[in-house]
Amino acid sequence: MGLANDKSIAWGVAQACAEAGAELAFSYQGEQLLKRVGPLAESLGSDFVVPCDVGDPASLDALFDRIKEVWGGLDFVVHAIGFSDKSELRGRYVDTSPENFRMSMDISVYSFTAVMQRAEKLMNEGGAALTLTYYGAEKVMPHYNVMGVAKAALEASVRYLAEDLGKDGIRVNAISAGTIKTLAASGIGDFRYIMKWNEYNSPLRRNVTQEEVGKSALYLLSDLGSAVTGEVLHVDAGYHVVGMKAVDAPDI
Ligand code: NAD
């Protein structure tokens, strides 16, 4: 869930899973995205493509009903979805409007729980779930504002869901991805500057790719991660361990 185009993090995850032999279904938000998502799914051998707006409970029900009808069960689910009004992804957090606060929390946080309420019922032999988060949940990042607050709540949801669903053999994890140029990220103020800063200051002195997030996702979704749950795995070239600007970092 959350494939928009071939720059999406969901695309890196889908490719890694398909390469490992997974049979995939894709949900997309709105008819406009179908012309991108349809061919991408097809290139991975899937014609199982279903519309779903996670803000609409009926749309979520329809998606999971369809999965039940076609597959009868589900091994894993990937939630690579986030949204906030981009006019509030710049300036001051304190100015966040109540409408955008509620909408960002609904689409970027609650939707993962809503997905798990439905996915749980299809994971009869256990399963795995993954969502995507960002370092702005832990530390203040420029312009990330209400999304930082939303990601903090999303990471807490991962832990609570892991506890609730663990008894049924369902694992719930998150990847905290480094900055990647995607449609969603381009809505964040000064994103190019933030990407450069990460490149110069992360221990690996570079940014990460969708493919790299995909490989770590495969670990968490597959049997390779069979004892890992409630975890937020940083796939960020190590940026989260750094305390200050690197001495060799150029000025930007
Ligand atoms: P993207 O724009 O490719 O994907 C975002 C997806 O969210 C889109 O497919 C969009 O259709 C979907 N979406 C938004 N509102 C929706 C709704 N109401 N119903 C259904 N789908 C909806 O961007 P991305 O960067 O691949 O984002 C995927 C996830 O990764 C997001 O949670 C994002 O916060 C997270 N993330 C991104 C970065 C980055 O630097 N790009 C870093 C860390 C975490």
Buried (b) or exposed (e) across 178-191, using 16+ Cβ within 10 A?
bbbebebbebbbeb
Residues with a CB atom less than 6 Å from ligand 1: 2-4, 8-10, 29, 33, 52-55, 80-83, 107, 132-134, 177, 179-180, 182-185
* Nearest atom within ligand 1 for CA of residue 11: 26
Task: Provide the residue type at 153 as one letter.
Answer: A
pTM above 0.90, yes or no: yes
Q: What does the block give as tokens for 1?
A: 């869930």
Find the helix or strand (DSSP H, E) in which 219 lies.
Answer: helix 210-221
pLDDT at 252: 86
Asked if residue 79 lies in contact with residue 9, where contact means CB atoms within 8 angstroms, the answer is no
Fold classification of 9-241 is: Rossmann fold (3.40.50)
- Rounded average pLDDT per 10-residue block, the chain, 252 residues: 98 98 97 96 98 98 98 98 96 97 98 99 98 98 97 99 98 99 94 96 98 98 98 98 95 86
pLDDT at 251: 87
Q: Is 193 assigned a catalytic role?
A: no
ipTM summary value: 0.99
Q: Is 200 assigned a catalytic role?
A: no
pLDDT at 75: 98
* Nearest atom within ligand 1 for CA of residue 30: 11
